[in-house]
Amino acid sequence: MTQSSFSGVNIPPMDVHNRKLVNNVHPPDWVNPTPVECYDLVVIGSGTAGLVTAKGAAGLGVGLKVALIEKHLMGGDCLNVGCVPSKCLIRSARVVADMRDAQPYGIQPPAQIDVDFQVVMERMREVRARISPVDSAAAAAKSGVDMYLGEGKFTGPNTVSVDGRTLRFKKAVITTGARAVRPRIEGIEEVGYLTNETVFSLTELPQRLAVIGGGPIGCELAQSFHRLGSQVVLFHRGAHLMSKEDADAAEIVQQAFLKEGIKLVLACQMKRVERTPSGKVIHFVCDGREESVVVDEILAGAGRAPNVDGLNLEAVGVEYDSRKGVAVNDYLQTTNPKIYAAGDICMNWKFTHAADAAARIVLKNTLFSPFGIGKYKLSDLVMPWVTFTDPEIAHVGLYEGEAQDRGMDVNTIKILFDDVDRALADGEEEGFVKIHLAKGSDKIIGATIVARHAGEMISEITTAMVGKVGLGSMASVIHPYPTQAAAIKQAADAYRRTLLTPKTIKFLGLLTKLS
């Protein structure tokens, strides 16, 4: 056993919290194990998909030999530069918003809200470090995984090299994730910019911040930094923020941004960036007219690129695309039948919970489906997701337009939160529950919720879809009063009322006379 040569990981600022994080997810004194003769499963990449696959296989107690390889930080984007740190910033930003908007509730807001950005970021680092033991090298080893720190790449039909060692495998899984796309804007490399991989290392608040990308990442961070005190300008090439979302939902968020004072530059083309004594100047064109804005920092939040470089996939006949990632079938099997993939490296759903679900499919299909019997399909998943703006947008299943494109007739039930008692009491009536049904039935095929805590509500509808429970049946589910989730019950009641045709009303009248 020898110490890994990949020990120089540094996450600025290297305070007590980041040292704890590194000691967990890439310990500098880690000693790679001696490989066994042949592994049942070798997993490359220790983000959510990799950890669930490797620890899940090793922890079954059936004697499987499992190896997990990581060249950088265990826990992947979610722990280190994604879900965990961003939600910490969002929480601090919501405190600011609550203080600012306190007057309608009979509470006088302070004349000035002082944000200590260094403390905000330190809290984020502390929370991240506190969560990190779950994703640590020690935890993986304790579960029975042979944990290797180093860069893994395929070297033959059934071999992977890492840190000077050769690992033989029966099956392998690629879970190397994705990274932020580099903006194609003249001068931006010279001027410098932030991504989700570097923004959480900030210790000083940018006074003027440009955010590139009006999708979920860009919108979440734009709103958070604006609330924390930055003057934010948000660039989006589309005519509307979150153009892939339900249009009604995206409109509510866009209006919230405008009300808060975030400057939106929509349907415009960014031309070039230059550094001047006054700051970083972004030149852009709108409606044929060139304009410019001066900022202190630029945050690129538009798009992700799969981490396929350096894997030597050609050596094992795994097809891939530099933009789309590794090619897989519905069973998450690559063009090499012995090699599977899961997570951001191969899926359109780039969410932590999607990577987790895909890893469970891979476990079943690689280890417990002899001769292909009983394989699970990715397309069978009912996948919810949430954009954590304020208000949040949560969605599951099909959008109305998607259903129509598939030739499906749709009925939609929509409940506005200004008709929900608890939302009125909370002062959070901007939003709705929208549920799409297959026409002529109560089968739920999709839903969108816009609310401050929409992410906490969408699982009820997801559960109904997975359990094949129709919206009509949900009318009998008792919801505590008063809650905002009661909007789902109201939607179910609204569906039941659509069944009151003249014929059924006449029949009910007859029943009352006979009762």
At position 312, the amino acid (one-letter code) is N
Please report the pLDDT score of residue 512 as a whole number: 85
Alpha-carbon distance values, 169 to 59, 172, 174, 314, 329 (Å): 18, 7, 13, 17, 21
Asked if residues 350 and 215 have their Cβ atoms less than 8 Å apart, the reply is no
Where do the CATH 3.50.50.60 domains begin and end in the chain? Answer: 2-82+124-180+305-380, 207-301
Question: What pLDDT, on the 0 to 100 scale, is given for residue 510?
Answer: 80
Q: 344 among the known binding-site residues?
A: yes
Query: 207-301 — its CATH code?
Result: 3.50.50.60
- ∠ CA 308-310-312, nearest 5°, is 90
- Report pLDDT digits (tens) over 76-92: 999 999 999 999 999 99
- Strand pairing partners for 397? 446
Is 13 among the annotated ligand-binding positions? no
User: Across residues 134-151, what is the average pLDDT?
Assistant: 98
∠ CA 439-441-446, nearest 5°, is 70
Residue 175's nearest CA partner among 83, 85, 81, 68 is: 68
Q: Is the pLDDT at 5 greater than 60, yes or no?
A: no
106 a known binding residue?
Answer: no
> Which regions of the chain carry the CATH code 3.30.390.30?
391-499
- What secondary structure letter does DSSP report for 35? P
Is position 217 annotated in a ligand binding site? yes
Whose structure tokens read 């007739």? 409
152 marked among binding-site residues: yes
Residue 515: predicted pLDDT: 83
Three-state DSSP at 219 gives: helix
Task: Evaluate if residue 246 carries a pLDDT over 80.
Answer: yes
Identify the architecture of domain 391-499 in CATH: 2-Layer Sandwich (3.30)
Q: Alpha-carbon torsion 316, 320, 326, 330, what sign?
A: negative
Q: Do the annotations mark residue 338 as ligand-binding?
A: no
For 223, the enclosing helix (H) or strand (E) is helix 216-228
Is 219 known as a binding-site position?
A: yes
Q: What is the pLDDT of residue 2?
A: 46
pLDDT at 7 (0 to 100):
52
- Mean pLDDT of the chain, nearest integer: 96
**221 Cβ contact list (under 8 Å, min separation 6):** 86, 89, 196, 199, 211, 299, 301
- In order, the DSSP letters of 283-330 are EEEETTEEEEEEESEEEE-S-EEE--TTS-GGGGT--EETTTEE---T
Residue range 2-82+124-180+305-380, CATH number: 3.50.50.60
pTM: 0.95
The reply, when asked if residue 216 is annotated as ligand binding, is: yes
**Is 65 annotated as ligand-binding?**
no
